[in-house]
Amino acid sequence: DAGVTQSPTHLIKTRGQQVTLRCSPISGHKSVSWYQQVLGQGPQFIFQYYEKEERGRGNFPDRFSARQFPNYSSELNVNALLLGDSALYLCASKRSRGANYGYTFGSGTRLTVV
Amino acid sequence: QKEVEQNSGPLSVPEGAIASLNCTYSDRGSQSFFWYRQYSGKSPELIMSIYSNGDKEDGRFTAQLNKASQYVSLLIRDSQPSDSATYLCAVRLYGNNRLAFGKGNQVVVIP
């Protein structure tokens, strides 16, 4: 089975632009989460979606938004990009909302804002 | 207080030795704990999960959980150069579905 797939792998954007990152979860996984990882830090939670509904939101500004589609894939949108948005954006999927399942991460999208 | 703390600096261990990593967490209600390995420039890879007090072994890895002390650890036995990576401790916070991560500990195995 394919793992969590993310696209694109790398992206360079200019301050003020908008970006859309995409994620396809492992087949059968209905829960998708997004994390931001800046260099030297652990991942920070942005959003979680389950069955197309937002189930959690981290401490990120409203410039960040996301959605989940009927096939459980997901998009993360970031508007009005700032230099500080430069990071590795990770998508993680999980089989269900149950506690005793680990999250599997995709390979990430490295966003550079210049 | 941070939700998850990994305070140790880079850890250098000789090949074949035991690497020991520690993590503390603040949410007393947390029930699920994970260790991820992250190679430079790559994404985190789940290597261990633990939900009950005590030890859990998987190959050369042992995770230890002490909920009373709010402490999780990871032991890597017979360390290999391929174990050189950053190890992230993650805790699923009580009442929600997000993981809180520590900043990670870098392990360097010296041949």
Closest CA to A33 of B100, B45, B98, B33: B98
Say if residue A11 is exposed, middle or buried (CB neighbours under 10 Å; 0-12, 13-18, 19+): middle
**Contact B21/A at CB under 8 A:** no
In three-state form (DSSP H/G/I as H, E/B as E, the rest C), the secondary structure along A29-87 is CCEEEEEEECCCCCCEEEEEEECCEEEEECCCCCCEEEEECCCCCEEEEECCCCHHHCE
pLDDT at A62: 97
Q: How far apart are CA A12 and CA B29, in angstroms?
A: 41
Pairing of strands A53-57, A44-50: antiparallel
pLDDT at B76: 97
Q: What share of chain B is helix, strand, coil (3-state, %, to 5)?
A: 5, 55, 45
- The string of pLDDT tens digits covering residues B20-29 is 999 999 999 8
B-chain residues within 8 Å CB-CB of A43?
44, 88, 99, 101
Largest interatomic CA distance in chain B? 44
**Contact B42/A at CB under 8 A:** yes
- The string of pLDDT tens digits covering residues B28-47 is 989 899 999 999 999 999 99
**Contact B22/A at CB under 8 A:** no
pLDDT at B96: 75
Query: In this structure, are residues A32 and A68 in contact, taking their beta carbons and an 8 Å threshold?
Result: yes
Task: Give residue A1's pLDDT band: very low, low, confident or very high (50, 70, 90).
Answer: low
List, for chain B, all residue ranges whose pLDDT scores fall below the cut of 70: none
pLDDT at B98: 87
Alpha carbon B101 to its chain centroid, in Å, reads 10
Q: Compute the mean pLDDT over every residue in chain B, rounded to the nearest whole number.
A: 94
Instruction: Looking at the complex, report in whole angstroms how far the Cα of residue B51 sits from the nearest Cα belonging to chain A.
Output: 7
Closest CA to A64 of A25, A20, A7: A20
Structure tokens at B36: 């991820």
- The string of pLDDT tens digits covering residues A53-112 is 999 999 999 999 999 999 999 999 999 999 999 999 999 998 765 556 778 999 999 999
Nearest Cβ partner for B96 among A40, A42, A56: A56
pLDDT at A97: 59
- The string of pLDDT tens digits covering residues A32-57 is 999 999 999 999 999 999 888 999 99
Nearest Cβ partner for B97 among A41, A48, A102: A48
**Contact B2/A at CB under 8 A:** no
